[in-house]
Amino acid sequence: MRTNNFIKASCLLLMASASSAFAQKMSIEHKGDTTVIKVENPTKYLLLPVQEEKDEAQVLLDTGSKDDTWMDVRLAQNGADYYVPFALGKGKTATVKILGLKKDALAVNLMKLNDTFDTTNTDYYRPSYHFTPLYGWMNDPNGMVYKDGEYHLYFQYNPYGSKWGNMHWGHAVSKDLVHWEHLAPAIARDNMGHIFSGSSVVDKRNTAGYGKDAIIALYTSASDKNGQIQCMAYSTDNGRTFTKYEGNPVLTPFDGLKDFRDPKVFWYEKGKCWYMIVSADKETRFYKSKNLKKWDYVSAFGKSMGQQPCQYECPDFFQLPVNGDKKNKKWVMIMNINPGCWFGGSATEYFVGDFDGKNFICPDANDVKWLDWGKDHYATVTFSNTGDRVLAMTWMSNWQYANLTPFKQNRGANGLPRELKLYEKNGKYYVSEDVAPEVYALRKDTKDIADATVADAKELKSAVANMEGAFEIEADVTPDANGIAGIEISNNKRERTLIYFDMKQGKVVMDRTESGLTDFGKQASPHDIELAWDKQLVAEGKQPARITNSINYKNDFSLATWAPLTLCEDGKTTYHVDIFVDKSSIELFVDGGRIAMTNLVFPVEPYENVKLYSKGGKAEYKNVKLHKIAL
C-alpha cells in the first residue's frame, strides 16, 4: 500500500536452520531517503546483495547505542554480483536502517535472512596457497605479531564488499606461516573512523598497565571529521578481541597534517622505551613513549629522499645483522610509496643506516633501493616478537588497478611470507627478501628434470601436467655471456609469462604482456605525469630509463618488470631461481632473494606448460625441479 510516500512490505520467512525456534518476521519501510528493516526473532545475518559498480548506500544496525556505526555497502540496484553478511545482533528484534537506497532497487527484494553464510570459494582466480580472506576486500597486512606459538596476521579488511571501504582489522592465525585459520575481525570501524594500518607488540614489561604480555595495537583512525589520528587498543585474550583505549587518540599531528598514518611500534633497548614511526606525508616521524599512551616527538627522516615524487605509507623499522654477523647490525627502514614504483603505481623501497635514539642516518639515502622489483608488492611490514628472525608479509596488488582485478567473492591476497637479511656489496648495504623456509613444506610432489644445454626451446609440457596451476620451478641457470636464457610458463590458450636473463643488458625480466587477462584500464598515477618526472630523474642521473620497448603505456597492467643483476655477487655466471606459480600470481626469487619480483597474472586456463629456451647462444639448466604446491 502506498500512502504519503510511505511503503510497507512484510514477509514471513520460516528458517530451515535448527537454531531457529521461531519464525522470522521482516518488515521493510521507506520513509523519505531512509529504508527501515525490522526483524523479529532475527537470524544471525541479513544477507545483503551487492552490485559492485553502483554507488554506496549507508547501512546501520540501530541498537540505540552511541557506538552504532554506519557502514558503506554497494547495494544492488538492477543486478547482484554476490552477497555479504550483515550481523543482526542477539536481541529479540533487529532494526536496520539504510540511507541512499532507491525504493525500486533490486536489493529490497533480494535480501535474505539466514543463520549461516556460505564461504565456499566461487572465484576462479582465488589463490591455491596464498592467504586471502574468505570473502570481502583485503589490502595492507598490519598489526602482525608472534605470541605463544601463533603468528597473528591482521589486515585491512572490508567485510561488506570486494572493493575498498569500511576498514576493519581482519584476523587470521597460523602456527607455520602457511596454514591460516580465519577468525572474526579483531578491530571494527567505529564512529571515530576507519581502522587504518598499524602495528601490534607484546607488552612484556606491562608498560601500558593491561597486564604482562598483553598485546597492544596502535592504529590509525581515519575520518573526514577527525582526520588521521593514532589510537590504541589492547587484548588480554591472545589477540582475539581488542578493547579500544578510552583516552584515544594517543597521538595527533602537531601541524595538522592530512596524511599522518600507519604507526609502527618497536622497543628500543638502549633507551628502555617504546618508539613509534609514522608516515607523515612525504617523510616519516619518530616518537617515543614509556607507556604506549603518551608520545613525544623525536625527529623526522626521508623528506626528498629515495624515490620522488611519492607518498609514504606503512613504514617499518628494524635491525638486521650484516652478512649474518650479529655483532655488526644496521637499522633498516622500509617505506612503502604510492605513487613512485619504477613501473608505475605502488611499491616498497628501503633505507639502511644507523640510529642513535634520536636520528636515523642513511649515508646513501638518495639511492633508490627496491625490496621487490615487481608491480604487485606493496604495504610490506614485518612481524614483531620473532626474535632474531625478521619475517615480512606483503599485499599482492597495485593501487593502479587493485579495485579492477577479476574477482567477485573476495579481492586481495598476500604474497608468500618472506625472511629478510642484509648483505654488503661494494661498500653499500642491501636487503634480500627470500621466501620463508616454512613455505617449502607445501611441496606435495617433485619431478626432477634432466640437466639440459639449450640452444633452442625445450618444452617440458608433460612434466607439469596435473599441477592445477599451482607449482614451483627450481633451477640453476647459466646463460650465455651475451645471450638470453629464459623460462616460459604457459597454457594451451597460448597465454604465457616469460622469465629470462638478458646478459647483454644485465637484467632479469618478468614479462606478463601475454599472460592472460591484462586490460584493467587506468587508475591513479596518470602516465603523462609519471613519465614527466621519470624523464627528469633520468636526466638528473638518479634513475635508469625504463625499458620502453617492453611496456605498453596505455595499460597499467600489461608490461614487463625487471631487476639489475648487479644485485647478485660479482662474477656470477650461474643463477639459482625459485619461481612460485599460483592461479593469479607469479613470484620470482633469484639467489636467495637478492632479487625478488612479484606480479599478478590472470590466465583464462591454468598454466600447465614450462619451456626452457635461449637466444643468442647456449644456456645450461641444472638441478631443475618442478614441485606441486598445495595446502
Q: Which residues are catalytic?
A: 140
The full length of the chain comes to 631
415 Cβ partners below 8 Å, 6+ apart?
A: 130, 376, 377, 393, 394, 395, 396, 585, 587, 598
My answer on whether omega of the bond before 564 falls inside 30° of 0, hence cis, is: no
Residue 9 corresponds to which amino acid?
A
517 vs 3, 165, 510, 514, 610, CA distance in Å? 51, 25, 16, 8, 19
Question: What are 244's strand-pairing partners?
Answer: 233
| Amino acid present at 124 | Y
Instruction: Report how far residue 178's alpha carbon sits from residue 26's, in angstroms, rounded to the nearest whole number.
Output: 42
> Other CB atoms closer than 10 Å to residue 545's CB: what's the count?
10
Between CA 219 and CA 132 the distance in angstroms is 21
C-alpha cell at 250: 594517543
**Contacts (Cβ under 8 Å, ≥6 apart) of 318:** 266, 331, 332, 382, 390
As a whole number of angstroms, the distance between CA 519 and CA 513 comes to: 10
CA–CA gap between residue 554 and residue 563 (Å, rounded): 22
- Kind plus residue range of the DSSP H or E element containing 464: helix 461-464
What's the CA gap between 266 and 276, in Å, rounded?
Answer: 7
